[in-house]
Amino acid sequence: MSDPRIVDARSRPPIAAFLPDRTYVNLERTLRNVRARGWTPAPAMEGKDLDGYLAECAAAGIVRAGIPARAPNRWWGGQGNAPVFAACAERPGFFFGYAAVDPFAEGAADSVAGLRDSGARAIVLEPGVADEPAYVDDPRIDPVYEASLAAGLPVLLMGGGETGPDLSFSDPLRFERVAIRFPGLPLVNVHGGWPHAQAALGVAFRRPNVWMLPDVYFPGLPGEHDYVLAMRTYLADRFLFATGYPFCPVQATVDRYLSFGLPDETLENVLYHNAVRLFGLDL
């Protein structure tokens, strides 16, 4: 596959939406995390350099980047939706935004339609890092799932990695319960259920409304082969390329995807068409 067009479905560049949060405030910790995954931090990462980041994206073939808002919380920070919408307004041809909802805030479900009207391409839910952590299948969240379905917005639901105080918050069975309750709602498993990769992929096999976005936990970590095999087979049209920047370097991540020997049609879906279709991008 030569000269690919790529949509990075989840990236956190050095902009006002993210710079005050732990990821950038404690940059040395983040860079240690990058190295622990086997990557070499790029100069733009080390310098919190937005122009450098944009240049890296252009060189790698990334034509759009989805940026996820984060509801304010005591674990990771979070600046809410306003700075994400502002960044998208400044670079509408490159950034597109996902709006965060605190599912336990008053009026959470009622806010979803307005967020769609403001330009959100999806709703971000991270109940495991709420001030009082909760599981994704907590029935108190159901009104937000229902509102997202009614608004025609997919949900980016944190389902792996550091998604809560312990690994029980990454249990794919809880993710599946949500998929069963809302079969018409596209649910994107942010972090891909890692480290429970096989079980999370099993959920995606059973539930056609589940999409996979392992971002910072793929490639390069245990489970890599399983994600690649899923792309080769039943998840070719429900797998999303994402760097999770700044936790993975742009060009190196693209190169790894290209190295797997996937058929061109599969690569084009994973790198580009799946995100365009799911998020309704007009390119």
Q: What residue segments make up the domains of the chain, in order of their start?
A: 6-151+235-279
- In tens, the pLDDT along 79-121 reads 899 999 999 999 999 999 999 999 999 999 999 999 999 999 9
Mean pLDDT over 232-259 rounds to 97
Helix, coil or strand: residue 72? coil
- Does pLDDT of 73 surpass 90? no
Range of lowest pLDDT (1-5, 29-33, 167-171): 1-5
What integer best gives the mean pLDDT of the chain?
A: 95
Cβ contacts of 58 within 8 Å, gap of 6 or more: none
CATH homologous superfamily, domain 6-151+235-279: Metal-dependent hydrolases (3.20.20.140)
Give the Cα separation of 95 and 121 in Å (integer).
11
Per-residue pLDDT reduced to its tens digit, 29-44: 999 999 998 999 999 9
pLDDT over 70 at 283, yes or no: no
- What is the b/e burial string over 215-237, where b = at least 16 CB atoms within 10 angstroms of the residue's CB? bbbbbebebbebbbebbeeebbb
Phi first, then psi, for residue 54 (nearest 5°) are -65, -40
Distance, CA of 139 to CA of 148 (rounded, Å): 15
Inform me whether the pLDDT recorded for 64 exceeds 70: yes
Q: Whole-model pTM?
A: 0.95
Mean pLDDT in residue range 145-174:
96
pLDDT band for position 74 (cuts 50, 70, 90):
confident
